[in-house]
Amino acid sequence: MAKTKVKFICQSCGYESAKWMGKCPGCGQWNSMVEEKIKTNKTNRGVFQHSDNIKLSKPTSIMTIETKEEPRINTTINELNRVLGGGIVNGSLVLIGGDPGIGKSTLLLQACARLSETEKKVLYVSGEESVKQTKLRANRLSIATKNLFILAETDLENITKVIHEMNPDFIVIDSIQTIYHNQVTSAPGSVSQVRECTGELMRIAKTNGVPIFIVGHVTKEGSIAGPRLLEHMVDTVLYFEGERHHTFRILRAVKNRFGSTNEMGIFEMKETGLEEVLNPSEIFLEERSQGAAGSAVVASMEGTRPVLVEIQALIAPTSYGNPRRMATGLDHNRVSLLMAVLEKRVGLLLQNQDAYLKVAGGVKLDEPAVDLAVAISIASSFKDLPTRSTDVFFGEVGLTGEIRRVSRVEQRVQEAVKLGFKRIILPKANIGGWTKPAEVEVIGVVNISEALSHALGG
């Protein structure tokens, strides 16, 4: 017979304990252990029983397995297709997370509308809004299509019945934290509920071959709420990010079984919904100040797409014992490292200077190729000497001050030429093996001192 047991489960990492603890041993969070009732069956526990009625699967040699390239579903939203790896894969389970109000529901509703216009039957399950509220949002986005069906439901059993009766081609669950399984006694949004509901949705996706998108809430640290197991269960994890005070939104993939995790999709939030940004480099540089010290343009790669972004630095004498180091859109530790290199290898006295750096436009850069532009912007602000408005920089800076080679040089240069830049300063090791455009001057540098000499004119 089934016996009800009480367990305390951490809502951050899923750690289970027989007693309540103030601090979770698994992740170190305080007051995250919540009591949940678990039904267990004591009969035949721990005994493996083999039944002749069960059809066992047999191992197959990998050489005899036949595969074929399945066509992906085109959402007609190019930025979304790019991040997904070329489109939606049939039977895939995709998790999308982001801060409240960032545009997750708007993006998925627009994707549903585009898919329904291609004669696909789409089911949008809303656990946070009523049917009328979803309709009001659809009116704001100018969505009117007969193949888009809205269901306001939180019971997973009822959702499953509707899916089997309707047999849709595409499903959206908004959000997984509001859906509950009636056989699990804990509250919606708990670890047990999220785990069971996601597992059931995964079985539906794989069995019926229907792609399912689920929306996940995020914690105050920015990670998806619930156990880490949730990200392991799904095929793809997307993060929708952006500054609340900026109109640009960036869609990134942190896990993708069917494509690259380096791609980035850029959208602009407007009154009529999200619009694709086809040329992000031009958008990020349109408000750049001419002749201002502390500014440098870097050619960064986001997946297969080159993006030109402005890096700004402000170096000012400190009034405290310990100088401040602040960075927005850049790794704080990387900035401190580059300032130490400039002080040791170039002789810039930065130990009594406050440093404030940011990437214009709210973009986050994490590749090593941005090092050179960061170092030049710091030196430019410290010496109060502006860089040329037609210069682009990229390269990795080593601890001994050398400039190391980076990848995809030709794509970076072509993007700079397309936007009218005339001079590119890059690692000398990257010169050669590709065709240099005639209308741009390419300068290869070996160390940071040589790069500063070219960039600041002495």
Is 150 marked as a binding-site residue? no
Q: Which has the closest alpha carbon to 241: 100, 350, 58, 412?
A: 100
Is 103 marked as a binding-site residue? yes
Quote the CA–CA distance of 435 and 437 in Å, as a whole number.
6
- Phi then psi dihedrals of residue 436, to 5 deg: -85, 130
DSSP string, 340-374: HHIIIII----TTEEEEEEETTS----SGGGHHHH
Buried/exposed code over 82-111 (b: 16+ C-beta within 10 A; e: otherwise): bbbbbbbbbbbbbbbbbbeebbbbbbbbbb
Is 25 marked as a binding-site residue? no
| Collapsed DSSP state (helix, strand, coil) of residue 201 | helix
Cβ neighbours, 10 Å, residue 160 = 15
Q: Which has the closest alpha carbon to 341: 395, 298, 412?
A: 395
Is 398 marked as a binding-site residue? no
Quote the CA–CA distance of 26 and 33 in Å, as a whole number.
11
438, 439, 444, 450 alpha-carbon torsion, rounded to 10°: 150
Quote the CA–CA distance of 233 and 199 in Å, as a whole number.
7
Among all chains, which residue has been given the structure tokens 């919606």?
A: 188
305, 306, 308, 312 alpha-carbon torsion, rounded to 10°: 90
- Residue 62, C-beta contacts closer than 8 angstroms, at least 6 positions apart: none
CB-facing half-sphere around the CA of 232: CA atoms within 13 A: 7
**Residue 270 token pair:** 């407007």
CA-to-CA dists, residue 51 to 44, 58, 112, 349, angstroms: 14, 16, 45, 77
Please give the radius of gyration of the chain, using alpha carbons only, rounded to the nearest integer. Answer: 26
Among all chains, which residue has been given the structure tokens 């410290």?
A: 382
Q: Which has the closest alpha carbon to 327: 350, 284, 369, 356?
A: 356
Is 403 marked as a binding-site residue? no
Q: Residue 448 region, left (φ>0) first, then alpha (ψ -120 to 50), else beta?
A: alpha
Is 289 marked as a binding-site residue? no
Is 366 marked as a binding-site residue? no
Is 280 marked as a binding-site residue? no
Q: Which residue numbers belong to the known binding site for ATP?
A: 98-105
- Binding-site entries: 98-105
